């Protein structure tokens, strides 16, 4: 299974990106999006972080093992996902 | 291997006890190397052995698999298995496993209990230690409820730093996320912020503690309470 890295965009510029050094092994884009949304939901609901006043302004910028962009998943997509389903 | 001598052991409980109490335990102590992720006490099984930690760290966790969260941390200040055995509970629902590889002195439950039966002073010392374990768990509950992730992570790094030699901790973000019960992305982001503020230096699979006081300032008093109780009750400081 390919490995995907879920970098967390929480502000502008290079300081606003928390780079994921470890990654997750997933089957492909569908699973990447599902994982990103599940993690985002859990962060929104359960995690208080003073550095992030608004989780909905965040996004996962996902890359593959070569650092190529795979997709961007805004945390705000967690709200619409249920309607689409 | 020769039996450990009280002057040479690193475990703070063994060092703090009266020489005659150490002598009751000494013939039964066996030196053992323990490796990361090795289970020390399995949930809901009779505890047959206890472990005085000489180096490394043992985690006590509640829950199962995905929902596992750390509720206790034992290093060279402690005795793994103390609470269930001394409180006559025979077993515990919590998994105890090795978080940082190291060395322990193991002792069978029976010779351990015989020594405790024979010495009121030894029982008193060890029950005081159990008190500090309970305080630590209570402070962890407090930290989960009262602190943001910055404070909880800072507290956890301080507790870990207390129990290793040197300033470098070897751990993955995935492991930290499991211990703190939070998504890995939250850990990664928080480590980046702690690093930006000069509190730590984060490298791949390693975290170097740079400024304890700055970390402590984030914990809002939730770090240091069980540590102070231990110093007062066990070491008379």
Contact A58, A10 (CB under 8 A): yes
Instruction: Please list every residue in chain A whose beta carbon sits closer than 8 Å to the beta carbon of residue B174.
Output: 22
Any idea which of A35-39, B49-53, B168-172, B188-192 has the lowest mean pLDDT? B168-172
Tens of pLDDT, residues A62-73: 999 999 999 999
Quick one: pLDDT band at residue A33, thresholds 50, 70, 90?
A: very high
CA distance A26 to chain B (A): 16
**Residue in chain A nearest B202 by alpha carbon:** A21
CB-nearest partner of A18 from B148, B149, B185 = B185
Domains of chain B plus CATH, in order, are 12-143+229-233 (2.60.120.10), 148-219 (1.10.10.10)
Residue whose C-alpha is closest to residue A41's, from A82, A9, A5: A82
What separation in angstroms does the CA of B45 have from each of B34, B93, B203, B230?
20, 8, 38, 28
CB contact under 8 A, A15 and B196: yes
CB contact under 8 A, A21 and B204: yes
Output B171-177 pairs: Cβ under 8 A, ≥24 positions apart. Answer: B171/B205, B171/B206, B171/B207, B172/A22, B172/B205, B173/A20, B173/A21, B173/A22, B174/A22, B175/B99
Quick one: pLDDT band at residue B16, thresholds 50, 70, 90?
A: very high
Contact B200, B194 (CB under 8 A): yes
CB-nearest partner of B149 from A15, A20, A48 = A48
Chain B interface disruption, residue of A48, A57, A63, most B CBs within 10 A = A48
**Residue in chain A nearest B143 by alpha carbon:** A48
Q: Which residue has the higher pLDDT, B87 or B1?
A: B87
What number is the ipTM of this complex?
Answer: 0.90
Interface of B with A in 173-202 (CB under 8 A): 173-174, 182-186, 188-190, 192-193, 196
CB-nearest partner of A22 from B173, B182, B189 = B173
Tens of pLDDT, residues B138-181: 999 999 999 999 999 999 999 999 999 999 998 889 989 988 99
């Amino acid at each position: 299974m390919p490995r995907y890295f879920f970098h967390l965009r929480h502000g502008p510029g290079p300081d606003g990106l928390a780079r994921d050094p470890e990654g997750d092994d997933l089957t492909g884009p569908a699973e990447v999006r599902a994982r990103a949304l599940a993690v985002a939901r859990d962060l929104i609901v359960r995690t208080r972080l003073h550095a992030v006043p608004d989780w909905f302004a965040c996004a996962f910028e996902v890359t593959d093992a070569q650092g190529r962009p795979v997709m961007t998943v805004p945390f705000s997509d967690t709200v619409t996902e249920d309607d689409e389903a | 291997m020769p039996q450990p001598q009280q002057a040479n052991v690193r475990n703070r409980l063994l060092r703090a006890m009266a020489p005659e109490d150490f002598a009751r335990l000494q013939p039964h102590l066996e030196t053992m190397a323990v490796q990361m992720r090795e289970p020390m006490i399995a949930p809901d099984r009779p505890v047959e052995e206890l472990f005085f930690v000489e180096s490394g760290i043992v985690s006590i966790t509640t829950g199962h698999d995905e929902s596992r969260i750390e509720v206790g941390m034992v290093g060279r200040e402690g005795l793994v298995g103390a609470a269930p055995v001394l409180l006559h509970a025979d077993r515990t629902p919590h998994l105890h496993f090795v978080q940082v590889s190291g060395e322990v002195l193991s002792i069978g439950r029976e010779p351990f209990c015989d020594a405790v039966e024979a010495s009121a002073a030894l029982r008193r010392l060890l029950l005081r230690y159990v008190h500090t374990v309970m305080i630590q768990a209570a402070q962890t509950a407090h930290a989960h409820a009262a602190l943001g992730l910055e404070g909880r992570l800072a507290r956890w790094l301080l507790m870990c730093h207390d129990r290793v030699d040197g300033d470098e901790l070897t751990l993955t973000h995935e492991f930290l996320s499991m211990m703190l019960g939070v998504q890995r992305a939250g850990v990664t982001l928080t480590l980046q912020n702690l690093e930006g503020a000069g509190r730590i230096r984060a490298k791949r699979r390693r975290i170097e503690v740079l400024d304890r006081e700055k970390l402590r300032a984030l914990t809002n008093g939730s770090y240091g309470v069980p540590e102070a109780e231990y110093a007062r009750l066990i070491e008379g400081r």
